[in-house]
Amino acid sequence: MADVARAVGVSTGTVSRALRGQPGVSDAMRRRILRAAESLDYVVSPAASGLVTGRTGSVAVLVPFISRWFHAQVLAAAHQVLRGSGFEIVLYHVEGTAERREFFETLPVRRRADGLVVIALSLTDEELARLNGLGMPVVGASTDLGPAPAVGIDDVAGAAKAVRHLANLGHRRIAMIRSTDEEGFHGGVSRRRLAGYEDAMTESGLEVDPALVVSAPWGIDGGARAMGELLSQRTPPTAVFAEADEIAIGALRTLRRAGIAVPGEMSVIGFDDSPMAELLDLTTVAQSVHEQGLIAGRMLVEAVQQARVAEPAVRLETRLVPRGTTSARPGRPGTAG
Amino acid sequence: MADVARAVGVSTGTVSRALRGQPGVSDAMRRRILRAAESLDYVVSPAASGLVTGRTGSVAVLVPFISRWFHAQVLAAAHQVLRGSGFEIVLYHVEGTAERREFFETLPVRRRADGLVVIALSLTDEELARLNGLGMPVVGASTDLGPAPAVGIDDVAGAAKAVRHLANLGHRRIAMIRSTDEEGFHGGVSRRRLAGYEDAMTESGLEVDPALVVSAPWGIDGGARAMGELLSQRTPPTAVFAEADEIAIGALRTLRRAGIAVPGEMSVIGFDDSPMAELLDLTTVAQSVHEQGLIAGRMLVEAVQQARVAEPAVRLETRLVPRGTTSARPGRPGTAG
DNA sequence: CGAATGAACTAAAACCTTTGCGTAAGCGCC
DNA sequence: GGCGCTTACGCAAAGGTTTTAGTTCATTCG
């Protein structure tokens, strides 16, 4: 910056003001300074300016499984608005328990970011406390942060929509496939969707048979395994609600291999409306993933710049997307799907 | 840091050395300092230390389409090794031409990172020049960077493997589906895979009919469209090589809807071996995506810390993965797949 | 026992910006 | 024409760390 100042013949203070568009610099001088900076290929040192302003100019994003469609989608959207607001994004990807613990123990965001957005992570109370003690704004996307602002969907209601759809089709034995989630990455979501399942079941006058709620590791293989378990029961269900599309897709695989017709003999419904669901014609419950990322990004910008968020708790709508994997209960006249 | 120094009764210089494990501090003193820092919840200011050392402690990652499996996978792997080496990762996600141009024009990495890894991006000469003028190490993953170190596969050979497989099954009219890629995000890869297709065709004594090479936008829908185009030709192919699994999957969708048996009437082969390929039993050519990310990360660490990379051009093997979408040419005795 | 050596630590400069305060000049106004 | 006001700019301190060049002190060696 001193070089630029010397080249133009002014003080560094003036250069600083000119470069940041602050008042107190004549237009002519500003132009000369900008031109000089350009020709000298000069950019301000974020370190130096951060040192005096106390702001880093970047925000952190904490995300567990970046290669899952949902997470990547939210990240991309949040990235878009954050970069649009002039922030750099520093990424903390925690794929396993070790990395996760390391993050919450060392809190590498301290002094490195002006804010943090947490994507799709179920937090323990202690982790929550750590984040709140961070001294920087934190917002959640598909993540419950207690007092801190967050955007998400009503998982209970969404799951209930799925199950109600099955009940409306005449199904009475409706199973649910949950993810085991030993590491606590999405236990919250899973629990809420279970609650929605139970709500819709009782509301429809159906018994919640504990044997019909099975768990398996998150993902296609897990879903496949869980479906196998359901098929081996004395009275298998006629319809299955899977906590997520990927799980439902695993269930479909098992059904295909077992030669069980979908939806003829078994209805399957997922959750999220991922591209895979569309491809495989899977009935599901859609949520606007991209928008959650956008909103989370905007919330964080607000929180960082204005120190408060106008609407700190946003609930987006879910929407049933009927496709080809659900139909009326076999052996019963009804509205085929 | 002054607080810690005061608490222990030493100078900040000693605290600095103690905290970074540098020599010149007695063990007893080091312990006292670490304890004090801990109890004061003190962490060094990266801005201040960056100001004097000139290093940022972070590396940048430039990646075009984070929600594509391949990109997310490479990013995750690179992230893993970079964080393991103590770097923070700052993410530049360029999903469109506008963002891309903005990145290369403003070069926001300047002064913000110690190095850059570029994932799966075909660069123009000008962009390449901009990166080389950056004054920081740059490595490529699935990206050709000219002189700079990079890891990738031999796309020509990989594509040739795919096409040779089809030729070996007796197919003579073998089509290729490319991505249009108007925005130049993966033109390089696409061209090399086309070259591999052509190589294998001529090598097998087959004519390269230009009508058999069709293009469509990257993705499932594009693949579906391109397949439609192929089916509308006078003499449709009996086998199709798609530049990527997602494109192949689109092709499969069209074939399914058209009632054309796969692989009975049409063989389809993809590239990448994504999870979707496995799910849909798609024959494909596998590459170790995760490893590319790991290697790229290691290369960058080397480049940043030792200013040179031991092995600056790594080519990983590809591997044909025969599955259920390829078989012998219809009406010809052969080795069914 | 004196001097030389080395370890442990201090003092202070340097890194680059931002920003509050000061100053000078230009302007309108009575 | 003097007064106050505004605008444009300079000056210098402050921000937190690293690092170089000392300084002190104990130890070892001759």
CA distance readout (Å), A316 to A150, A152, A155, A166, A289: 11, 6, 10, 23, 9
Percent of chain B's residues with pLDDT above 90? 91
| Number of Cβ within a 10 Å radius of residue B7 | 17
Please give the Cα distance from A311 to A308 (Å, whole number). 9
Helix (H, G, I), strand (E, B) or coil at B85: coil
The predicted structure's pLDDT at residue B310: 86
Q: Quick one: pLDDT band at residue B331, thresholds 50, 70, 90? A: low
A251 burial type by CB count under 10 A (0-12 exposed, 13-18 middle, 19+ buried): buried
The predicted structure's pLDDT at residue B337: 41
State the average pLDDT over residues B109-137. 95
The predicted structure's pLDDT at residue B81: 97
Cβ distance A3 to A42 under 8 Å? yes
Q: Quick one: pLDDT band at residue A184, thresholds 50, 70, 90? A: confident
Of A9-13, A333-337, B95-99, B279-283, the one with minimum mean pLDDT is A333-337
Percent of chain A's residues with pLDDT above 90? 90
Taking 90 as the threshold, does the pLDDT of residue A337 lie above it?
Answer: no
Q: For chain B, where are the E strands, in sequence order?
A: 58-63, 88-93, 116-119, 138-141, 150-153, 174-179, 213-216, 239-242, 267-269, 284-287, 313-316, 318-321
Helix (H, G, I), strand (E, B) or coil at A179: strand
Q: For chain A, where are the E strands, in sequence order?
A: 58-63, 88-93, 116-119, 138-141, 150-153, 174-179, 213-216, 239-242, 267-269, 284-287, 313-316, 318-321
Dump pLDDT digits (tens) for B21-77. Answer: 998 899 999 999 999 999 999 999 999 999 999 999 999 999 999 999 999 999 999
Taking 90 as the threshold, does the pLDDT of residue A181 lie above it?
Answer: no
Q: List residues bridging with A140 in a β-sheet.
A: A118, A150
Radius of gyration of chain A from Cα atoms? Answer: 25
State the average pLDDT over residues A293-302. 97
A279 → closest Cβ in B44, B253, B275:
B253
| Number of Cβ within a 10 Å radius of residue B18 | 25
Q: What are A145's two structure tokens?
A: 């942060």
Taking 60 as the threshold, does the pLDDT of residue B336 lie above it?
Answer: no
Taking 70 as the threshold, does the pLDDT of residue B136 lie above it?
Answer: yes
Average pLDDT taken over every residue of chain B:
94
Helix (H, G, I), strand (E, B) or coil at A24: coil
Taking 70 as the threshold, does the pLDDT of residue A333 lie above it?
Answer: no
C chain positions with any atom within 7 Å of a protein CB: 7-12, 14-20
| Number of Cβ within a 10 Å radius of residue A154 | 16
The predicted structure's pLDDT at residue B329: 80
Contacts of A88 in chain B (CB under 8 A): 90, 108, 112
The closest of B201, B330, B332 to B262, measured between CA atoms, is B330
The closest of A111, A136, A120 to A300, measured between CA atoms, is A136
Q: Quick one: pLDDT band at residue B333, thresholds 50, 70, 90? A: low
State the average pLDDT over residues B107-124. 96
Contacts of B110 in chain A (CB under 8 A): 43
DSSP code at position B329: P
Please give the Cα distance from A125 to A127 (Å, whole number). 5
The predicted structure's pLDDT at residue B334: 47
Query: For residues B305 and A337, which has the higher predicted lDDT (pLDDT)?
Result: B305
Contacts of B76 in chain A (CB under 8 A): 66-67, 93, 95
Q: Quick one: pLDDT band at residue B116, thresholds 50, 70, 90? A: very high
Q: Quick one: pLDDT band at residue B335, thresholds 50, 70, 90? A: very low
Within 8 A by CB and 6+ apart from A35, the residues are none
The predicted structure's pLDDT at residue B307: 83
Q: What are B149's two structure tokens?
A: 């170190």
Taking 60 as the threshold, does the pLDDT of residue B85 lie above it?
Answer: yes
Taking 50 as the threshold, does the pLDDT of residue A336 lie above it?
Answer: no
Dump pLDDT digits (tens) for A49-67. Answer: 999 999 999 999 999 999 9
- Whose tokens are 């500003």? That residue is A30
The predicted structure's pLDDT at residue B332: 60
Distance of CA A290 to the CA centre of its chain: 9
Q: Quick one: pLDDT band at residue B309, thresholds 50, 70, 90? A: confident
Average pLDDT taken over every residue of chain A:
94
Please answer yes or no on whether A73 and B93 come within 8 Å at the CB atom. no
Dump pLDDT digits (tens) for A15-32. Answer: 999 999 998 899 999 999
The predicted structure's pLDDT at residue B64: 95
The predicted structure's pLDDT at residue A331: 67
Is the omega angle on the peptide bond into residue A108 within 30 degrees of 0, that is, cis?
no
Cβ distance B239 to B252 under 8 Å? no
- Chain A residues with CB-CB distance to B under 8 A? 43-48, 50-51, 56, 58, 61, 66-67, 69, 72-73, 75-76, 79-80, 83, 88-93, 95, 99, 108, 110-112, 220, 249, 253, 275-276, 279
Q: How far A112 CA sits from the closest chain B CA (Å)?
A: 7
Please answer yes or no on whether A90 and B95 come within 8 Å at the CB atom. no
The predicted structure's pLDDT at residue A335: 47
The predicted structure's pLDDT at residue A332: 60
Dump pLDDT digits (tens) for A241-290. Answer: 999 999 999 999 999 999 999 999 999 999 999 999 999 999 999 999 99
Tally of residues, chain A: 337
State the average pLDDT over residues B6-16. 93
State the average pLDDT over residues B90-113. 96
